[in-house]
Amino acid sequence: MASIGKIVGVNGNLIRVAFDGAVAQNEVGFAKLSSGVELKSEVIRIRGDYAELQVFEDTTGLKAGDEVHFTGELLSVELGPGLLTQVFDGLQNPLPNLAEECGFFLQRGKYLPALPRDRKWSFTPTAKAGDTVTGGDTLGTVPEGIFKHRIMVPFRVRGQVTVESIVPAGEHVIEDVIAVLKDAEGKKIEVKMYQTWPVKVPIKNYQERLRPTKPLTMQQRIIDTFFPVAQGGTFCTPGPFGAGKTVLQQLMSRYADVDVVILAACGERAGEVVETLREFPELNDPRTGKSLMDRTLIICNTSSMPVAAREASVYTGVTIAEYYRQMGLNVLLLADSTSRWAQALREMSGRLEEIPGEEAFPAYLESTIASFYERGGVVKLRDGSTGSVTICGSVSPAGGNFEEPVTQATLKVVGAFLGLSRERSDQRRFPAIHPLESWSKYEGIIESAKVEEARHILAAGNDVNQMMKVVGEEGTSIEDFITYLKSEYLDSVYLQQDAYHEIDAACSADRQKYVFDRVYKILKTPMEFADKDSARGFFLKLTQATKDWNRVAFDSNDFKSLEEQIFNSVAEVTKNV
C-alpha cells in the first residue's frame, strides 16, 4: 500500500515530507495543493521518517501540512510503438497534446499518457504458444515508420517463462493484452504492447556488451577524418554561445549513420529549442527522402521550464535510446546542454545543504556524469543482432572556459572531444571545431599516420602564423611561409564545410578517403616560388579550385575535370628534388 506524508518544509522546488510506511529512493509522489491540483515529485533523499522530494513544477501555493501521496512506483517512462515523431517534455508528456488541452500556457499538474491509446497497430506475432522466453525477447512486431518495432517481453521479467497464449496477426491498440506468459511458479503475466521502465535504471537485457570499434560516419570531414566517433561511443561538443552547436547537431542528426535520433534539450534556451522544433520537421532525411522527424524524437525542456525536470529529461532520453537499442537499432542521443543539467544538480545540492565541490557543484558531479555516459555502448542481443547508443553531450561552459568542472568531468569519461572555438566561429570557419585542441581515442576512416602528419602541418602553420604576428611577414622565410599557406589550404578545403550547400554539406566516407589522399599528396609535394606574393597567389587559386571541387558530385565528369586542373597547376610549381 502506497504511503501518505505531510509536508513539513518547502524550499523552492524542494519539499521535506514526514511519512509513515515504506518509501523508496526515486519513488514518485504527488504533492496536493489546496485547490486539488497534484504536482509530480521524486524522492531524492530519505532520512529516517523524513523524505526530501524535488518537485517538477512551480511550487507556489504548497505549504506545511499539505499531503503528499506516494505512488510506490519509481520515476518511469512508457516504452512502446508511437514514440518516434513525438515531442515530449522532461516527464514524457506529449507537448502537442498538452497544448491542445491547455492552450497557450501549460497548466501545473496536467499529465498525459506518453503514447496514444486509441491508435491501432498492425501486430504480427513471431513467438508462439509453448515457446520459452525471457525479458527482452521479441514476441512480435508492428510497423513504425521505416522500422519493425519489436514488442518485447517486459524487461522486468527475470528467468525463463513460457508463452501460454499470443494473439494472431491483426490490429490492436497498445492497451490490448497481446500475450500471456507463465513463470516457473505458475504465475501468469499479461503482456501489452507497451511497458514502463524506471529512467534511472539501465536496461541490461542483452547477452554481451561490446567494445565500440566501428567508426560512426557523420559525413563531416573534420570529425570523420581527424576526430572520429565510434558507433556506440561517447563524445562531447563544448563551446561558447554562438559557436555553431545547434547547426552541428542538425548536421549530425541528418547525416550520421544511425537509425534513430533522440534530441534531449535539457535546459537549453527557449529560442534555440523553438528553432529546433520548427526546423527538424522541415529537414529532409537523406535515407528516406521524407521528413527527418520520422525517425527522430525530441525531449523538450527549456531553461524557462522547472529546473528539476532537466535531470528527468536527460534520463528519459537515454532510457528511450536503450529501448531502441534492444531492437537491434543504432541510436544517436544528443543531450543539449549538459551544463544546464549540472546547474540543476548544483541547485538541488545547495537546497539539500550538501558539502559543495568545486564552483559549488555537488561533490558527486563526476560520478553522476560518468554514470550517464556509461549507458551508451554497443551490445550483442540474445538473437545475435547488435544495437548501439552513441551519446553526444553539448557542454556550454561560461565564457568558453574548458577548465570549468562540468567540461573537465565530461572529458574524463568520453572517447572524443570536439571543442568548438570562438576564434574559429568569428573567422566563419565552420564547423568551428578547433583542430589543435580537439582529440579522439577512436579509430577513424583514414590511416592514422597520415592524419597525424596533416595535424602536424596544421600545428606548424599555426606556429608560423603566431610568429608572423610578431615579426611580420617579411621576417619569415619562404619555406616557413609555404608551410603556413599549406596549413591554411588544408583548413579551408578540408576542415571547413558549407552546411547549406546541397553537396558540400555532407561528404561520404568514400569521398573523404579519396579527397584526403589527393590533398595529402599536395601537402607533401615540395614547392618552389619566386617570392611570397607568387606563393600566396598560387594558393589562393588552388584553394578556390579545390572548394569548387568539393561542390560537385563525386565521380562526375566535372569532378574529374576539376581534379585534373588542380594537379596540373600543382605540377607547375613542384620543386625538382
Q: Is 286 marked as a binding-site residue?
A: no
Q: Is 243 marked as a binding-site residue?
A: yes
**DSSP structure string for 503-529:** TTT---HHHHHHHHHHHHHHHHS-B--
CA-nearest of 132, 124, 130 to 157 is 132
- What values do phi and psi take at 389, rounded to 5? -125, 115
Cell numbers linked to 95: 507537448
Q: Is 302 marked as a binding-site residue?
A: no
Q: Is 241 marked as a binding-site residue?
A: yes
Q: Is 240 marked as a binding-site residue?
A: yes
Q: 69: part of which helix (H) or strand (E)?
A: strand 67-74
Can you tell me which residue has the cell 513539513?
Answer: 8
Q: Are 382 and 392 spatial neighbours (Cβ–Cβ below 8 Å)?
A: no
Q: Establish whether the linkage from the previous residue to 337 is cis, with ω within 30° of 0.
A: yes
C-alpha radius of gyration, the chain, whole number: 27
Q: Is 400 marked as a binding-site residue?
A: no
CA–CA separation, 509 vs 501, rounded Å?
18
CA–CA separation, 392 vs 418, rounded Å?
10
Starting at the edge strand that comes first in sequence, how are the strands of the sheet with 147-152 ordered?
147-152, 138-144, 121-125, 170-172
Residue 409: other Cβ atoms inside 10 A: 21
SS3 254: helix
Sign of the CA dihedral 138, 139, 140, 145? Answer: negative
CA–CA separation, 299 vs 317, rounded Å?
7
Can you tell me which residue has the cell 536496461?
Answer: 203
Residue type, 539: F
Q: Are 215 and 224 spatial neighbours (Cβ–Cβ below 8 Å)?
A: yes
Q: Is 113 marked as a binding-site residue?
A: no
CA-nearest of 291, 389, 388 to 333 is 389
End-to-end, the C-alpha distance of the chain in Å comes to 87
Q: Establish whether the linkage from the previous residue to 405 is cis, with ω within 30° of 0.
A: no
CA–CA separation, 418 vs 403, rounded Å?
15
127, 169, 277, 333, 547 from 265: Cα distances, Å? 38, 38, 11, 11, 34
147, 200, 571 from 281: Cα distances, Å? 19, 30, 48
Q: Is 244 marked as a binding-site residue?
A: yes
Three-class SS of 6-28: EEEEEECCEEEEEECCCCCCCEE
154, 288, 308, 423 from 430: Cα distances, Å? 45, 27, 34, 11
Cell numbers linked to 270: 527557449
CA–CA separation, 386 vs 475, rounded Å?
58
Rounded to the nearest 10°, the torsion over CA 319, 320, 323, 328 is -120
Which residues contribute to the annotated binding site for ATP? 239-246
Which residues contribute to the annotated binding site? 239-246
